[in-house]
Structure 1
């Protein structure tokens, strides 16, 4: 049984996601779980989509081992130890190898064949909650059933991989230096001979997106969620606004602002670039005036004039990696890390206290001051400062003057 996740938009603008079979029919219990447990908890559509991806993997496991949890739970048969272990091992597979066309799932032979540990962890976490939900509705109620179901859920969770305190790879090592970004910005300069696209409107849009990301450190979802009305051209400010389930956004996969709303000051030169793109290029694209989103699709087709999609933005960022070896691995989040690195250096030059720096950074990035996220994005600067400190100690120990070193 081949499954797929289908996303659609309701008349109110609310986004939905369901797990469907090969005939396009929704699976009942996953749909019930999403509606009762996840939408009821006001979880985002992206969180729901990720959960359905985990349930899709769970169904692949059931198909491979010829299991049917719904029938099992109705017969008061819960998962036992070796089945949980097989589930754990199966969740290490990439999704592409779970539903092979030949009908055979390949065994994991190399470490490269496994998904990342945090992916495994998230899959098992979702599945643990789901089997608890499913068993709670199908398992006949007895004096011990609730305790037995809770024990099964705990066993699934206990088989999640152990994560280090740093679950996300430290991207500070792949941050780009200012000179590399300068070269890239020069390539993207509208009208330049080395610009990878020929349409001048696309050139302005792409260059502006890159500049905004570099100078503000906002997320890609926030960038794609920007509307013209968010800019105050008199006060030179930009307001980052959350717009979940916007009825005026035609994109099924609506980009979302994950962080808090805030107002960001912009220099006049950047505001001029934004105005130039709007009046000179964006407003001339067919259909662009039907909505207020800043960045639109310029290429002719059924989506011309629509707000730029996440996949369209991804293609743009991906194209930058192919321009030269020094741009390899370019991703929008690298620009967010780079902004934070430059903010740290600027704060140090101004003599700001660590507390004041974290407070300002948290506001500009849209984080809670107590989240601790500010320290995550300060790692590159901390490493450099630590390196300078230890070099200073070594010089002092060897009696080397700074001028002689």
Structure 2
């Protein structure tokens, strides 16, 4: 299964391992980062409809149809951290073995260059293996730290010299994507499902609605909302930024006027789920200081952890906090989903309580 995942991801970018290694070249760090990212998710949830290269069979596998159909309504799910770590180590071992095997058939100079490349690249690759406790959830996905959140917002700013995109429209749109994800905690599918008519023109509010099989959505895999319909209030400044994007940027793209979706590509077509993943992959590659685990879903974890911190500052009871969170995230009243998204906050509170207990011990200072 791991090798199948490896080869499918390589096929997406037309990489043939044997050909590459016979040329005396190893995989690049960005290519390995893509493998590391894919290793976080369930294979059945990943889309491989474009994996076949030119000239491959035109026969459509029924499993692909099922995968596309399910992807339209189910967001990509993460595997356990232990599974992710195991996949990365297995991939590294296989790539090391195959490059060494192929390298032994090459001239001495090429063999040496391939060995040096592979050693450096695999060291960077293995650095992404998460630490896994035998018992618990250490290493499970968390939100961004305050420092990483500030670094992300600084990099994504349209006027930042470190912003990885060149075109003004793309810079502003991607900045708005990150801001809306951090501000609302919505999923990428919910963001891409937003239509301009979902925005309140009088108040700083937007509606997140379920639209299964929407006739006005031309995307083959339609992003969708998994949770309940809900209304989300924004700060006026953020709402002004949304309308500024619509009136000053989006409106200038004639093809975009045919589509109701808020977030579009620079050719006017509604943006795809894969494009959101690409945006965060480009951010990670362009800005090594950002976490290698940075994805759109980490924004959701970040929102939930900030929500817990604010609830604590306001002195909300657990019951009130839970009800408020469930309403904001579109969860059922009795949902326990918050536990998945508040690990960093819960861990910090646990440490604080544990230290308080230790204060009761009579241990003299040396």
C-alpha distance in 1 between matches for 2:300 and 2:198 = 20
Q: 1:48 to 1:236 in 2, by over 3 A?
A: closer
Q: Which residue of 2 aligns with 1:398?
A: 362
SS at the partner of 1:239?
A: strand
Higher normalized contact order (CA 8 Å, seq sep 6+, divided by chain length): 2
1:186 shift after superposition? 1.5
1:254 shift after superposition? 1.0
1:245 aligns with 2:213: yes
Contact 1:191/1:200, CA 8 A, preserved across alignment: no
1:325 shift after superposition? 2.8
Q: 1:166 to 1:390 in 2, by over 3 A?
A: closer
1:279 aligns with 2:247: yes
Q: 1:165 to 1:281 in 2, by over 3 A?
A: farther
Q: Which residue of 2 aligns with 1:369?
A: 333
1:237 shift after superposition? 0.7
1:399 shift after superposition? 6.2
Q: 1:48 to 1:399 in 2, by over 3 A?
A: closer
C-alpha distance in 2 between matches for 1:383 and 1:374 = 14
Contact 2:230/2:327, CA 8 A, preserved across alignment: yes
For 1:70-127, what per-residue CA distance to the aligned partner results, in whole angstroms no more than 9, with x for missing partners? xxxxxxxxxxxxxxxxxxxxxx9xxxxxxxxxxxxxxx9997269xxxxxxxxxxxxx
C-alpha distance in 2 between matches for 1:339 and 1:207 = 16
1:171 aligns with 2:141: yes
Q: 1:293 to 1:49 in 2, by over 3 A?
A: closer
Q: Which residue of 2 aligns with 1:319?
A: 282
For 1:281-315, what per-residue CA distance to the aligned partner results, in whole angstroms no more than 9, with x for missing partners? 111113101011111111xxxxx101011111111
For 1:13-64, what per-residue CA distance to the aligned partner results, in whole angstroms no more than 9, with x for missing partners? xxxx9xxx9452676xx89x97xxx9xxxx95547999xxxxxxxxxxxxxx
1:222 shift after superposition? 0.5
Q: Which residue of 2 aligns with 1:296?
A: 264
C-alpha distance in 1 between matches for 2:336 and 2:168 = 42
Contact 1:233/1:271, CA 8 A, preserved across alignment: no
C-alpha distance in 1 between matches for 2:258 and 2:249 = 15
1:383 aligns with 2:357: no
C-alpha distance in 2 between matches for 1:348 and 1:256 = 32
SS at the partner of 2:359?
A: helix
Q: Which residue of 2 aligns with 1:205?
A: 173
1:386 shift after superposition? 0.8
Q: Which residue of 2 aligns with 1:84?
A: none
Q: 1:49 to 1:177 in 2, by over 3 A?
A: closer
Q: Which residue of 1 aligns with 2:313?
A: 349
Unmatched runs of 5 consecutive residues or more in structure 2: 1-7, 9-48, 50-55, 77-82, 93-133
C-alpha distance in 2 between matches for 1:290 and 1:324 = 35
SS at the partner of 1:207?
A: helix
- Count of equivalent residues: 263
C-alpha distance in 1 between matches for 2:279 and 2:310 = 30
C-alpha distance in 1 between matches for 2:191 and 2:87 = 41
Q: Which residue of 2 aligns with 1:73?
A: none
Q: Give TM-score scaled by structure 1 length.
A: 0.58
Q: Which residue of 2 aligns with 1:219?
A: 187
Q: 1:166 to 1:238 in 2, by over 3 A?
A: farther
Equivalent residue in structure 1 for 2:271, among 308, 315, 318: 308
Contact 1:297/1:306, CA 8 A, preserved across alignment: yes
Q: 1:47 to 1:378 in 2, by over 3 A?
A: same
- For the pair shown, the structure with the greater C-alpha radius of gyration is 1
1:228 shift after superposition? 0.8
1:166 shift after superposition? 8.3
C-alpha distance in 2 between matches for 1:221 and 1:166 = 30
SS at the partner of 2:316?
A: coil
Q: 1:212 to 1:47 in 2, by over 3 A?
A: closer
Q: 1:288 to 1:266 in 2, by over 3 A?
A: same
Q: 1:365 to 1:169 in 2, by over 3 A?
A: farther
Equivalent residue in structure 2 for 1:330, among 294, 316, 338: 294
Q: Which residue of 1 aligns with 2:150?
A: 182
